[in-house]
Amino acid sequence: MPTPVENPRDPLRETEPELAVPLARTDSSAEARAVFAPLCAEHDLKRCLLRAFSLAEASTQHQPGVRQRALGQLQRFVRIHDRAEHTTVYAALLAQPRTRRLAQVAIEEHHALDAALSDLAEAVAAGAEQEIGERIGRYRDLLTVHLLREENELFPLAYQVLGSERCLRMVRRFRDVRQAAQRLEE
């Protein structure tokens, strides 16, 4: 099970407090989480893959192939999930005035996460041990905030604005798109 994070640092808490990531789940986020269960399950897998990479990093520093493989699995999973999210969930939420800003924030976070993961991969490829530790920490912080924002804020708002039927269709479409993307990568 992923470790719960007590107090993730969310930059929006200062500038746009109404969009800051809620730390606790609410009743509506529990309902939304049921509808968005396939995406939330993938979030748990992302957390586990990052944990697996951190463990590989800590225990196999002299076996670069092991940590490269763990990092490659994380990168591939993130790429497929995030692309499917862009073309289904975010595309629908960008089209709605009430959900647009939050979708934009989530897209900006994907870009920051991509950059942080590339930096981490660079450090791993160079065998730069100190940077690897720092960059894992940076990536983990960004990922924690992003996943909580989707689970506790974005999905509940989508559920509220679009309703359960449309959200269920959107989630089915997400699954189709991500399965097709996965087949292409195999």
- Name the nearest CA neighbour of 42 among 6, 100, 88, 103: 88
Return the number of the residue (10 or 150) whose C-beta is nearest Fe ion.
150
Return the number of the residue (57 or 151) whose C-beta is nearest Fe ion.
151
Q: How far is the CB of 57 from Fe ion (least distance, A)?
A: 23
Site string for Fe ion, 75-114 (x = CB under 5 A): ----------x-----------------------------
- Name the nearest CA neighbour of 111 among 69, 76, 83: 83
Return the number of the residue (57 or 85) whose C-beta is nearest Fe ion.
85
Which phi and psi angles does 119 have, rounded to 5°? -60, -40
Site string for Fe ion, 142-161 (x = CB under 5 A): --------x-----------
Return the number of the residue (105 or 132) whose C-beta is nearest Fe ion.
105
Q: How far is the CB of 55 from Fe ion (least distance, A)?
A: 23
Tokens of 36: 């968005």
Q: Tell which positions 21-80 bind Fe ion, by CB under 5 A.
A: none
Q: With b meaning 16 or more CB within 10 Å and e meaning fewer, what string describes 51-74? A: ebbbebbeeeeeeeebbbebbeeb
**Contacts with Fe ion: how many residues (CB under 5 A)?**
2
Name every residue whose Cβ is closer than 8 Å to that of residue 35 and which is 6 or more positions away in sequence. Answer: 155, 159, 164, 167, 168, 171
Return the number of the residue (57 or 150) whose C-beta is nearest Fe ion.
150
Chain positions contacting Fe ion, by CB under 5 A: 85, 150
